[in-house]
Structure 1
Amino acid sequence: MGDARYFSSSKRGEIHELKEELNSPNKDKKKEAIKKVIAAMTVGKDVSPLFPDVVNCMQTNSIEVKKLVYLYVINYAKSQPELAILAVNTFRKDTMDPNPLIRALAVRTMGSIKLEQMTEYLLEPLRRCCKDQDPYGFVAVLKDMLSDANPMVVSNAGSSGVVAVEFVWVNIIAAVIALCEMQQQSGKRMMPLDEKTVSNLLLALNECTEWAQVIILDAITMFQPKDSKQAKEMIERVSARLSHVNSAVVLSAIKVIMKMMEKLNNTDMIRVMCRRLSAPLVTLLSQEPEIQYIALRNIRLIVQKRPIVLQGEVKVFFCKYNDPIYVKMEKLDVMGRIALKLEAAADVCVNAILELIEHRADYVLQESVVSMRDVFRKYPGKYEFVIGPLCENLESLAKPEAKEAMIWILGEYPDRIENAGDLLYSFLDGFFSETYAVQQELLTAAIKFFLKDTSKTNQDIVSKVLKACTDSSSNPDLRDRGYMYWRMLSMGDLEKCKKIVVAPLPRITDTSLLVESNLLEVLLGTIGQLSSIYFIAPDELIEGTKQYEEMEDYYEDQSSVEDRSQNIKAVKAAMASPRSYEERTTDLDSGSEDTSSSSSSDEDDDDESSDSETEDEETPTTATPDLPIQRFMVRPEDQKGVNNSVNAVERLAICCTSLARSSSTGVSDAISGGNGHTGLKVAGGIGFVKGVLCMELLIGNSGGIPLTGFAIQCNKNAFGLAPKSTQIAGMPDTLQPGSSVSVRVPLEPNRLNSGSPPPNHPPLLLQTAIKTNVDIFYMNVPYTLYVVFEPKQMINADQFLSLWQRCGADRQTSRAATPSQPLNPEMVVARLRQANLFHVNTRGSRDGGSAALYFGACLTNRLVVLLELVLTRTVPQEVMVNVRTETPPLVNHMHYLIESLLQLKPAPKAQQAATGSSATKRAHNEDALPEGKTRDKKAFQSKLEKEKTEQADGLEFEDPVEDEFEKEEIIDGDASDAEMAAEEEDAAAAGGTAVYRPGVDKVEE
């Protein structure tokens, strides 16, 4: 079992036993006791009474025991500061121990105890350890200064580091590393560099390891030379590192040289240094692919600052057959930029791109199309011979950027492309599945086609595109542009239209890769680090820096405290919602008082939110509004590898105010992909938006690299739900780290049917996969049963009667419940209509005490669910929910849906039978049977058949309580004249039996 056994014991009198073991003379027994104490402290038990006994165990030579005791002291120092001070003598003794590990451990522990009294005891060990000959102890001292409770200790850290530099060469490295780390975390200048200090650091380069050289070179970049002469001397002393075997040392040396070149005022010297930088950069491009990629990203920054670097070195950017895709794409992009910047190199670059196109690799083709579009803009009429090979690979284009570029080429050169109209028409088939940028490019290209050639084919194309943009598009920009073109063409003056739409385009200049000047200076100071690869400032990339914390505080201040609390409350309510249902449908005992209390508090929150919702739904409406899409967190039991930290939920909930206000929102933390990668956060749900079934997702990038290449797919499921397209409409091409976007994915049923029934308990889960450039992320998107109901009435009165009888009482499931507020039939009909549950008939009893409402729903896979709701007029009101279906797995989902729509609370199980029988009897008048008599089944069937025959002959029966509950017309258009039959004329006239006859003659299905 290992150390896990320490966490499994929980018995009475354990504190007393531990106290005895801690005072035992046996060292092994004492060590075991300390481990038990730490284990108990870890799981949240109060072991503070053992403080004196644990502190006495510090007087040992075992480093393992000391570490455990120090951990205990740090944890309880705040709650018992007086006792913590008693351990000072032992701490001071350990700071003079011959073992540097113990010395460093003691100093670090003293600095971790946040007590004002500890500061005065810490000063002397700090002074002594600042002169420590061992670098381990010195680093511990410097790190300890940063977290000290006394700000004076922190402010003196820089001067202490400078003093230590004068002693041991090894300590120089430790001092620089520690001070750089402290400076990064505190945001203050902790290492004042002067000429003497920098000279010592440069001398130490020859004595250091290669990784220590990187640290020293990074520190030297903070030095500001006085004049050009001093900068030149610095460059000469660092230039030897450009030929180092370690790539990190080379990049750090380049960083120092780029920094010092700013002080040079000699143009010839600058040109010489730029040429000197070319050789090491070219060497980096011949190493491993990972180093090549880092070099390519840094080359962008260097070339923007010093364009003459790598002049004449175009060949190094040619793609090799064995280059990874990320290196090829980076090289292709650089070559395209070189072709735009250097006209002399354009021919070479275009020929290289043509050779790559011949290989027909999809990723190469897509980047080639984008690059060639820019080349066409830069050099119009010069490289049109490349258009033919590009059009031959049209079906390989999948990225939105490549589609945009190809559509632009088709619209710009239709007269030079054979069957250009057919090629453009092929993009129109998936118009609504494309991104808005592609749709906009299609619209412009179609107008260009028509203005250049007003043939019948082009007229069909432009009319189809204009109609799609103006009638069906939800993007206001695209719709307005469509109306603008439509009105422009309706004026009839095509020549003026040509001057506007088909006017000669100006030659482009490449500014897409230009980094803003202030950011460029920051990134040049981070060459070789992550910031220079992501093009993100260090303060935005690394949490814990002062700048990052200030920015985070600023954005938190922008959102009100009330909004944040509401959002977080909504998240927690959504998290608790699935569990609350399972707890009330099963007899499982959680076994924890905390769980029950938290669930009860969550139920109270749900009640408050339900009250506000029912107030809005008090007035029935004739329209059928969309039910809000419920967004739930992907639960651990449903999705392996999901981390549901509350902090992550709160952070993303604060950013997504609109989603949290609209419905109960849950947010998942970083989901693990199929290959173990993380970086994707998803919140979502399934519902109807403007009558269209769709999956609404909030997708966030919690990783450190941009996410691209998004695609979505669903697994086979009971209802065959699947996206209409694997492309996510409205998804940006690149999702930057820290950003999020809300998208809607239209769904269609009966496309991926699994042939198996749905699960027995809600919620229903749609297994979904989102593909990115990093990994394929799998998740379960929950939804309720109403999303798979047919949106129009499929069951009339005749069919309802037939199906109700065919299911029989054996397949009926009944549950009693109490509503959060009184319900009337009109309110129930209006609410259930929103969920596509269609009302068939309402029947009331004679005494006016109860009403029975009947509903039917047909699922998209042709399954049928029938519902009877019995409403009483008692106080408190009781509701009996009776569900009949030939598919048992749908029963629990139906009850869950009704309870959610009507805000019902299940009655205790002890009252279920009594409540259900009494409510049903009141509605059906079955309590009129004399005591001791039973219903005659044969007489019942005979009576029913006789009444059906009379109904077929044209006889009509009046509703005995017509003044109490008016009969409802059948909503189905084909059965508008049909009416539900009333109750039997009188229970006594039927010989003491009450017959309910809901409907007319049975119709064959």
Structure 2
Amino acid sequence: MPYLGGEETVKELRRALSNPHVQGDPLRHRSTVLRVIRLPSLVEYVQQPLTAGLRDRAACVRRVAVLGWAKLHSLQPHADIDAAVVNELYSMLRDNDPVVMVNCLRALEEILKEEGGVAVNKAIAHHLLNRLKECDVWGQCEVLGVLQRYRPHSEEELFDILSLLDPCLLSPSVPVMAATLGLFLSLCCRGLPAVSLAALRRAQGPLLAACGSASPEMKFTALCHVQLLLRSLPGLMGEHYKRFFCGYAEPAYIKQRKMQVLVELVNDDNVGFVLDELKGYCTDVSPDTAQAAISAIGRIGRSYSDQCLEILTGLLGLKQEHITSVVVQTMRDLVWVCPQCSESVCEALEGCEDTLQDSQGRQALLWLLGVHGDRVSSVRSEMAAGVKTELLTATMRVFLCRPAETQDTLGRLLHYCIEEEADMNVRDQALLYYRLLHCGIEETRSVLQGRRSDPSLGVLIGRPAEPVSQWARSFNTLEPLRQCNAGAESAPQAAPYHLALDPEPSLDLCDPLNPSQDRQETGEMAALHRGVAWDQHRAHEHQDGPAADVPGPSRPVKVYHLLVPVADQ
């Protein structure tokens, strides 16, 4: 075999590229050109045959020659392509072969990437639009993507372009439909929002068909774009809600995305059917699917609280660990948004503490106890560090509203966490609360008793539609697949904390670096642990100040915890 780059190799290359039999066979010609281009020593010899190939009579030769220039640029991105070649590629946009035309667009995009790609003027735009039907699916998508850079000079020209594109909105090919809709939104989202909304309504048919595709990837992409459309047209596909019911054999990520869409499609007419369907998913063999279904019911509960609470309460009766945990977290989030549900939620929680085994479920239960401790009759919790921290906060909050019944429990809990707890985060939290109590009841209440809910989040039904311009640029791209804002709502969130902290440090707070003060606190904790009344203890420590008003006791509350023994010491 001759040395690559030698004189004999160059002669053989020139003979092969000029051989009409090789040129007449597209596969052989393409293979010869692309194989030679990969050899750096032969690049300078291939430019002349590529230039000649651009003017060849055979369309297959012109196709390969155009791609050859793009390949040559990708191998040597810093090398300058002759301006005559770029002009030749621009002129070949009018080639009779549609594949050559599309290849020229792709090659110019690669070569002129640093300059922003192909410069589309009025003549080029109209020529591409008129020849759009001659291209295959890939070619049509490429042309429609390039045309998004063009801006019509008049409203009459704009409507002429839209008239040419209108049949493509109903194309049986989903990629062509998506590319056409993206071009519609690019042209109309700012100046003609009504036209954009009309285009979205026309495209719902092909999108629904794509949601039933046999390809999971196509189905997931279509579902993500449906969610984009629903941001501007919330009730667009409400009558087709059954198309988003989950199939048994579908992957978990498809089921979860469909449930997110179902939440967006709920209205007064279909809420019963949607909730019945979601209720069936709550016992799915996949814990992730069951969790997504329960969370979806909780989101619907913002608008239809009574029906959703009935389903969630029934799920607590199943006594299954993962279901109970997610239900409690969902109820916590529902109470935060809809405070009118707090009484029903507190009644449903009694007895579910035995089933909770994970820390997130226990934290949610303790948060509900701390915020609505006067309504929950009994709970039980235990050992994880996050649960201990939540238990401290919950006990402090209950102490502020029911001090006589919670004083002994709070004293033993603080004593244990400060003297015996190995986790420093829990110990620091206990020290913070203990020192906060020294500042006074009112100061403690101002810090711990913030808002119990946030109704300003609103309900799902009747929310204002977003302008199409906010998401038009991301349509028919990978961005909707990367967005996690919708997926984040499918999982229960952490407990809401709204503490009204004083930005200025209080002079009454103890110095955490003073060891003598820690020894003093040990004696004080022992006094509090022995059950000394809080008002007497405060009067002993601060004789000059009046005792804080303490609210009277209400009905008994039982707080059992495994941090310290329950029996009296």
Which bracket does the TM-score occupy, shorter chain normalised? 0.5 to 0.7
Q: Does 1:174 align with 2:103?
A: yes
CA contact (8 A) 2:230 2:264 kept: no
Distance 1:232 1:174 in 2: 28
Instruction: Name the residue aligned to 2:274.
Output: 352
Distance 1:309 1:158 in 2: 49
Distance 2:268 2:189 in 1: 31
- Is the alpha carbon distance of 1:174 and 1:244 closer, same or farther for their aligned partners in structure 2, counting shifts above 3 Å? same
User: What residue ranges of structure 2 are gaps of 5+ in the alignment?
Assistant: 393-412, 495-569
Distance 1:87 1:399 in 2: 75
SS in 2 for 1:397: helix
Instruction: Name the residue aligned to 1:124.
Output: 48
- Is the alpha carbon distance of 1:196 and 1:472 closer, same or farther for their aligned partners in structure 2, counting shifts above 3 Å? farther
| Per-residue Cα deviation, 1:345-376 (whole angstroms, up to 9, x for no partner) | 16733651234314653355422321233344
Distance 1:351 1:486 in 2: 52
CA contact (8 A) 2:263 2:296 kept: yes
State the Cα distance separating 1:165 from its structure 2 match. 1.9
Larger Rg: 1
State the Cα distance separating 1:286 from its structure 2 match. 3.9
Of 259, 272, 277, which aligns to 2:198?
Answer: 272
State the Cα distance separating 1:423 from its structure 2 match. 0.9
Q: Does 1:237 align with 2:159?
A: no
CA contact (8 A) 2:50 2:68 kept: no
State the Cα distance separating 1:333 from its structure 2 match. 1.1
Of 103, 127, 140, which aligns to 1:213?
Answer: 140
Distance 1:181 1:91 in 2: 26
Distance 1:309 1:287 in 2: 23
Q: Does 1:448 align with 2:371?
A: yes
State the Cα distance separating 1:113 from its structure 2 match. 3.9
2:141 is aligned with what amino acid? V
CA contact (8 A) 1:107 1:140 kept: yes
Distance 1:149 1:460 in 2: 63
- Is the alpha carbon distance of 1:410 and 1:138 closer, same or farther for their aligned partners in structure 2, counting shifts above 3 Å? closer
Instruction: Name the residue aligned to 1:97.
Output: 19
Of 390, 402, 406, which aligns to 2:315?
Answer: 390
Matches within 5 A, 1:450-529: 450-453=373-376, 465-466=391-392, 476=425, 496=445, 500=449, 503-509=452-458, 520-524=471-475, 527=476
Comparing both structures, which one devotes a greater share of its residues to strand?
1
Instruction: Name the residue aligned to 1:715.
Output: none
Instruction: Name the residue aligned to 1:534.
Output: 482
2:50 is aligned with what amino acid? L
Distance 1:390 1:533 in 2: 32
CA contact (8 A) 1:336 1:371 kept: yes
2:79 is aligned with what amino acid? P
State the Cα distance separating 1:444 from its structure 2 match. 1.7
CA contact (8 A) 1:301 1:520 kept: yes
Instruction: Name the residue aligned to 2:233.
Output: 307
User: What residue ranges of structure 1 are gaps of 5+ in the alignment?
Assistant: 1-52, 56-72, 74-82, 340-344, 537-705, 710-729, 731-1005
RMSD over aligned CA atoms reads 4.7
State the Cα distance separating 1:200 from its structure 2 match. 2.6
Of 142, 146, 153, which aligns to 2:74?
Answer: 146
- Is the alpha carbon distance of 1:166 and 1:530 closer, same or farther for their aligned partners in structure 2, counting shifts above 3 Å? same
Instruction: Name the residue aligned to 1:946.
Output: none
Distance 1:440 1:357 in 2: 25
Number of residue pairs matched?
Answer: 439
2:315 is aligned with what amino acid? L
State the Cα distance separating 1:439 from its structure 2 match. 6.0
State the Cα distance separating 1:254 from its structure 2 match. 1.9
Comparing both structures, which one devotes a greater share of its residues to helix?
2
- Is the alpha carbon distance of 1:94 and 1:216 closer, same or farther for their aligned partners in structure 2, counting shifts above 3 Å? same
Instruction: Name the residue aligned to 2:93.
Output: 165
Matches within 5 A, 1:925-936: none
1:356 is aligned with what amino acid? L
SS in 2 for 1:168: coil
Distance 2:30 2:453 in 1: 73
State the Cα distance separating 1:413 from its structure 2 match. 3.4
CA contact (8 A) 1:523 1:532 kept: yes
CA contact (8 A) 2:34 2:68 kept: yes
CA contact (8 A) 2:303 2:459 kept: no
| Per-residue Cα deviation, 1:816-842 (whole angstroms, up to 9, x for no partner) | xxxxxxxxxxxxxxxxxxxxxxxxxxx
State the Cα distance separating 1:297 from its structure 2 match. 0.6
Distance 2:458 2:6 in 1: 68
Distance 1:262 1:349 in 2: 32
CA contact (8 A) 1:95 1:103 kept: yes
CA contact (8 A) 1:285 1:296 kept: yes
State the Cα distance separating 1:494 from its structure 2 match. 12
Give the fraction of aligned pairs with identical amino acids, expressed as a percent: 15
Matches within 5 A, 1:745-894: none
- Is the alpha carbon distance of 1:399 and 1:192 closer, same or farther for their aligned partners in structure 2, counting shifts above 3 Å? farther
1:452 is aligned with what amino acid? R
Distance 1:319 1:126 in 2: 55
| Per-residue Cα deviation, 1:9-33 (whole angstroms, up to 9, x for no partner) | xxxxxxxxxxxxxxxxxxxxxxxxx
Distance 2:343 2:235 in 1: 40
CA contact (8 A) 1:218 1:256 kept: yes
Instruction: Name the residue aligned to 1:136.
Output: 64
Distance 1:399 1:383 in 2: 15
| Per-residue Cα deviation, 1:66-99 (whole angstroms, up to 9, x for no partner) | xxxxxxx3xxxxxxxxx54774343333322221
| Per-residue Cα deviation, 1:503-530 (whole angstroms, up to 9, x for no partner) | 343241589xx99999945422xx1x54
| Per-residue Cα deviation, 1:26-45 (whole angstroms, up to 9, x for no partner) | xxxxxxxxxxxxxxxxxxxx
Higher relative contact order (CA 8 A, sep 6+): 2
CA contact (8 A) 2:30 2:64 kept: yes
- Is the alpha carbon distance of 1:425 and 1:401 closer, same or farther for their aligned partners in structure 2, counting shifts above 3 Å? closer
